[in-house]
């Protein structure tokens, strides 16, 4: 059995107060293991993003325990949570969130810079990470001059350049066409399978299912099923799927 990277037990999260109170998560138990590619799926408002924020140490759970790479997050202050993110977690955002004034290489290098890894070595690592996502030729290009798929690949390179144990991706293919979506999913699957990262992708895009080792479905703040990545289980037409 692979090493557990993230372990969430009995996670509950209530958002808002009084009449506006929403029980976003109602007792989640979830583990993410090294080398495993997990999809978190569910309809809008089901609690996907809230769970991702909790797993990513950006939102404290109302109750339950979260352990990231052996460190329990309860009672850790904001700077401490930032340190956990910096040391163990790489993020891929739906709308890329690249820095428009920095080149692709500098965007990737930024993930090393905040870890005080600087100089030529850091620059070399950033270019190697871009090489892994097939963008070595665009290292000196500004994000505005890249396509959506290329920008997302830069964002992925930024997420794993510092060798985090886990990569959390939020709807990484939502803004991409079929070819680019497939390319992104292949890179993320490789990150899990070849580079031994735990990868969790939040999505409601059924086309990504063929890439998953495991699918976790969430509905009304509860996990409803856990199983293998089989498109048929979600009645997905084969023509609609991204092929690995």
Partner 1 sequence: MSLVPTLASRNLFHDRLRFVATLVGIVFSVVLVMIQMGLFLGFGRMVTTMIDHASADLWVLPKGAKCFEDPSLLDAKLRDKVASVDGVASVVPLVIGFSDWRLESGELTPVFVVGADLRDRSLEPWNVVEGDVRALSQSGAVVVDRSYYDRLGVSKIGSTAEIRGRRVKVVALTDGIRSFTTTPYVFVDLKNARTYTGTFPDRASDLLVRLKPDADRDTVLKAVRAQVGEHEVLTTDEFRSRSRSFWLFGTGAGAALFAGALLGVIVGTVIVAQTLYSSTKDHLSEFATLRAMGSSNGYIYRVIIYQALLNAIIGFIIATAIGAVVVEMTAKSALPIVITPWLIAALFVLTVVMCVASAIGAIVRVVRIDPATVFMR
DSSP string, 57-87: TSS--SEEEEEETTEE-TT--HHHHHHHHHH
CB under 8 A, 24+ apart: contacts of 21-29: 23/221, 24/50, 24/221, 25/50, 25/51, 25/54, 25/61, 25/221, 26/220, 26/221, 26/222, 27/64, 27/221, 27/222, 28/64, 28/218, 28/221, 28/222, 28/223, 29/223
Min dist CB 56 to partner 1, Å, is 8
For residue 57, what are its two tokens? Answer: 């140490």
Our CB check for partner 1 shows the closer of 84 and 241 to be 84
Min dist CB 15 to partner 1, Å, is 11
Which residues contact residue 171 at a Cβ distance below 8 angstroms, ignoring those fewer than 6 apart? 94, 202, 203, 204, 205
Min dist CB 228 to partner 1, Å, is 27
**Residues engaged in binding partner 1 (CB under 8 A):** 49, 52-53, 56, 58-59, 79, 82-87, 89, 91, 93-95, 97, 99-102, 106, 109-111, 113-115, 118-119, 158, 170
Our CB check for partner 1 shows the closer of 49 and 151 to be 49
For residue 33, what are its two tokens? Answer: 């293991």
Our CB check for partner 1 shows the closer of 52 and 192 to be 52
Min dist CB 6 to partner 1, Å, is 15
Min dist CB 233 to partner 1, Å, is 27
Our CB check for partner 1 shows the closer of 114 and 234 to be 114
Our CB check for partner 1 shows the closer of 111 and 231 to be 111
Angle at 131 between CA 128 and CA 137, to 5 degrees: 115
């Amino acid at each position: 059995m692979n090493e557990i990277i993230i372990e969430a037990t009995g996670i509950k999260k209530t958002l808002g107060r009084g009449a506006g109170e929403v029980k976003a998560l109602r007792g989640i138990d979830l583990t993410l293991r090294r080398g495993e590619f997990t999809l978190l799926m569910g309809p809008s408002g089901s609690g996907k993003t809230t769970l991702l924020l909790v797993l990513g140490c950006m939102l404290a759970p109302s109750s339950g325990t979260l352990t990231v790479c052996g460190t329990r997050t309860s009672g850790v202050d904001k700077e401490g949570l930032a340190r956990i993110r910096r040391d163990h977690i790489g993020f891929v955002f739906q709308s890329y969130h690249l820095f428009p004034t920095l080149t692709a290489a500098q965007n990737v290098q930024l993930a090393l810079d905040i870890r005080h890894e600087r100089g030529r070595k850091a620059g070399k690592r950033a270019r190697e990470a871009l090489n892994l996502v097939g963008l070595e030729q665009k290292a000196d290009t500004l994000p505005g001059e890249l396509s959506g798929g290329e920008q997302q690949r830069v964002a992925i390179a930024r997420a794993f350049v510092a060798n985090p144990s886990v990569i959390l991706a939020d709807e990484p293919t939502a803004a991409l066409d079929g070819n680019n979506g497939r390319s992104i999913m292949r890179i993320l699957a490789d990150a899990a399978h070849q580079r031994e990262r735990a990868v969790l992708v939040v999505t409601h895009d059924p086309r990504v299912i063929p890439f998953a080792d495991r699918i976790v479905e969430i509905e009304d703040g509860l996990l409803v099923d856990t199983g293998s990545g089989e498109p048929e289980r979600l009645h997905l037409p084969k023509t609609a799927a991204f092929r690995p």
